[in-house]
């Protein structure tokens, strides 16, 4: 149990366009979903935290108008990178915590590789 | 601000060797600590989660310990195999349930 999927697994887009990444908890209801970004040979950096039906909370330095997060249900969160630029090229990973889990363990998706040309 | 440091940054060992990966954190007020494995270009696989009230967790050939007072955790891998080659990440969970990651240890197990 506790499987998280992401779609697409990789995407190439042109500079100036927008791209949407989906994160789904397949076999559990997620209290909270997190979005991370990982640059080559770097660790994961938390971008934002989202709860179903609420506005996302963004980490310092992350532009909320550029990285739009929607958490429409207990199993789905989306990250939209608006007006993408080459510097937005990165590996985006989501995670989710299971409703009712006292350990608040995060389960991670397989990641989405975004390349902006 | 919580900082997580992992030593060594890279480690290469022959197959069959036992090894220890180290993780230290600056703020001992943590909720939990997790060890993850990441293969190249892939997401994270959770290996072990240690709650703040626990001192260690074991899963198969893996054993993780936690010493909150000194801000340290270790991941022990017994009888290493080439399939264990990956990057191992340590992350601490703060009271606001956010994870802070170390930069990882790149492990290579040579056949």
pLDDT of B76 over the 90 cut: yes
Cα radius of gyration (chain B): 13
Chain B contacts to A (CB-CB under 8 A):
31-32, 34, 36, 41-46, 49, 51, 89, 93, 97-104
B17-31: per-residue pLDDT in tens? Answer: 999 999 999 988 888
Closest-CA residue to A92 (of A38, A17, A47, A25) = A38
B contacts of A32 (beta carbons < 8 Å): 97
pLDDT of A103 over the 80 cut: no
| pLDDT at residue B85 in the model | 97
Q: Measured between alpha carbons, how far is residue B40 from residues A6, A84, A87, B8, B18 in Å?
A: 17, 24, 21, 18, 23
- Environment class of residue B6 by beta-carbon count within 10 Å: exposed (0-12), middle (13-18) or buried (19+)? buried
Of B31, B43, B102, nearest to A108 by CB-CB distance is B43
Chain A contacts to B (CB-CB under 8 A):
6, 32, 34, 42-46, 49, 91, 93, 95, 97, 103-111, 113
Q: Which residue has the tokens 């789905």?
A: A76
Alpha-carbon gap, residue B32 to B52, rounded angstroms = 5
How do B32-38 and B62-67 pair as beta strands? unpaired
Average pLDDT over residues B75-95: 94
Under DSSP, the state recorded for A29 is: -
A contacts of B97 (beta carbons < 8 Å): 32, 97, 104
Average pLDDT over residues B94-100: 82
| pLDDT at residue B90 in the model | 96
Cβ–Cβ under 8 Å, residues A59 and B101: no
Q: Please tell me which residue of chain B has the smallest CA distance to A42.
A: B103
Cβ–Cβ under 8 Å, residues B94 and B101: no
Distant-in-sequence, close-in-space partners of A52: CB < 8 Å, separation ≥ 6:
A30, A31, A71, A72, A73, A74
Q: Can you name the residues that pair with A93 across neighbouring β-strands?
A: A36
What SS3 state is found at A52? coil
């Amino acid at each position: 149990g506790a499987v998280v999927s992401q779609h697409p697994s990789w995407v190439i887009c042109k500079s100036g366009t927008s791209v949407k990444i989906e994160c789904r908890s397949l076999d559990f209801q997620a209290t909270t979903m997190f979005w991370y970004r990982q640059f080559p040979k770097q660790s994961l950096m938390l971008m934002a935290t989202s709860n179903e039906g609420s506005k996302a909370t963004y980490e310092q330095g992350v532009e909320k108008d550029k990285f739009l997060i929607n958490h429409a249900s207990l199993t789905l969160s989306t990250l939209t990178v608006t007006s993408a630029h080459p510097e937005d090229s990165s590996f985006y990973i989501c995670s989710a915590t299971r409703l009712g889990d006292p350990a608040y363990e995060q389960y991670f998706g397989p990641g989405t590789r975004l390349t902006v040309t | 601000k919580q900082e997580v440091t992992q030593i060594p940054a890279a480690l290469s060992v022959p197959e069959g060797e036992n090894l220890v990966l180290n993780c230290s954190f600056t703020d001992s007020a943590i909720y939990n600590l997790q060890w993850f494995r990441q293969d190249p270009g892939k997401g994270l696989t959770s290996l072990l989660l240690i709650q703040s009230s626990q001192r260690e967790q074991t899963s198969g050939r893996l054993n993780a310990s936690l010493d909150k007072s000194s801000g340290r955790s270790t991941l022990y891998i017994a009888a290493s195999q080439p399939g264990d080659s990956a990057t191992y990440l340590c992350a601490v969970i703060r009271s606001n349930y956010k994870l802070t990651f170390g930069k990882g240890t790149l492990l290579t197990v040579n056949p």
